[in-house]
């Protein structure tokens, strides 16, 4: 498989599972999602990625440092944003989701912190940890998902402001991710270009990317149930 064919396959997976086109995103954008769906979005997303985003990227940094110094530097930059909001000058992404929960939905923080998410969300969380611990070479696949989430956040941000009357201070989780995940998408591409040196690496990456994308989509499906 030449590189041109490989990148076409990567883009095909990214397009097939682009979360920016998920039906729930569209409903929020159009003001047709119920508050219960907004609540479930937060619960499922908290479990899938947000609660553990800082810790698992820190774990990724440790494992990437054994493999590639530049890759570890890129991972450290992602950690600084996820844990502290350094790039967007906002806050840690877990704290920003709490903001949406409290200021946007008017719910007590403890309810989100102790929420119980779906099996799909738990599977996604477990796969993130598995990749960061055992398959760090293929971690550029995460950037592929984050590129789609940037588009999703852009659409949801517009819908939440227009149709749900939410103020900007309640929506920094979404406005911050529009920018941050666009950058993380670029980081993912750099990791792919740097770490996938062989034909086997590229073939395995495509399998990992499809698995990750399908699990992520399944987590979003759980938000509408």
Q: Count up the domains in the chain and report the number.
A: 1
Residues of the domain holding 176: 3-223
Whether the CB-CB separation of 215 and 144 falls below 8 Å is answered with: no
> Distance (Å, rounded) from C-alpha 60 to C-alpha 128?
10
Q: Any idea what DSSP says for residue 57? A: H
**Which has the closest alpha carbon to 20: 114, 146, 187, 129?**
146
> Distance (Å, rounded) from C-alpha 62 to C-alpha 212?
21
Token pair 């600084």 is found at 80
Per-residue model confidence (pLDDT) at position 212: 94
Q: Any idea what DSSP says for residue 139? A: T
Q: What does 1-40 look like in DSSP terms, one character per residue? A: --HHHHHHHHHHHHHHT-GGG-HHHHHHHTT-S-HHHHHH
pTM above 0.95, yes or no: no
> Distance (Å, rounded) from C-alpha 209 to C-alpha 205?
6
- In CATH, what number is assigned to the domain containing residue 139? 1.20.910.10
> Distance (Å, rounded) from C-alpha 132 to C-alpha 128?
6
Question: Taking the CA atoms of the chain, what radius of gyration do you get in angstroms?
Answer: 17
Per-residue model confidence (pLDDT) at position 91: 63
pLDDT 10s per residue in the chain (225 long)?
Answer: 778 899 899 999 999 999 999 999 999 999 999 999 999 999 999 999 899 988 888 899 999 999 989 888 888 877 776 666 556 656 677 889 999 999 999 999 999 999 999 999 999 999 999 999 999 999 988 887 777 888 899 999 999 999 999 999 999 999 987 876 666 667 778 888 888 989 999 999 999 999 999 999 999 999 987
Q: Any idea what DSSP says for residue 77? A: H
Q: How many residues does the chain have?
A: 225
Per-residue model confidence (pLDDT) at position 41: 97
> Distance (Å, rounded) from C-alpha 3 to C-alpha 159?
38
């Amino acid at each position: 498989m030449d590189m041109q064919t490989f990148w076409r396959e990567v883009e095909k997976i990214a397009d097939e599972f682009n979360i920016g086109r998920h039906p729930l995103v569209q409903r929020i954008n159009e003001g047709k999602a119920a508050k219960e769906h907004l609540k479930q979005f937060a619960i499922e997303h908290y479990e899938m990625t947000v609660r553990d985003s800082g810790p698992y990227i820190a774990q990724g940094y440790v494992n990437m440092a054994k493999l590639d110094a530049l890759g570890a530097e890129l991972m450290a930059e992602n950690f600084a944003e996820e844990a502290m909001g350094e790039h967007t000058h906002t806050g840690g992404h877990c704290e920003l989701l709490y903001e949406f929960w409290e200021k946007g939905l008017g719910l007590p923080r403890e309810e989100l912190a102790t929420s119980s998410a779906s099996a799909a969300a738990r599977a996604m969380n477990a796969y993130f940890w598995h990749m960061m611990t055992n398959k760090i070479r293929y971690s550029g696949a995460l950037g592929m998902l984050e590129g789609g989430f940037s588009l999703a956040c852009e659409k949801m941000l517009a819908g939440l402001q227009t149709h749900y009357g939410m103020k900007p201070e309640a929506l920094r989780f979404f406005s911050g991710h529009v920018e941050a995940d666009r950058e993380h998408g670029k980081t993912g591409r750099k990791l792919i270009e740097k770490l996938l040196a062989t034909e086997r690496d590229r073939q395995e990456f495509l399998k990992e990317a499809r698995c990750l994308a399908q699990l992520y989509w399944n987590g979003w499906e759980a938000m509408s149930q």
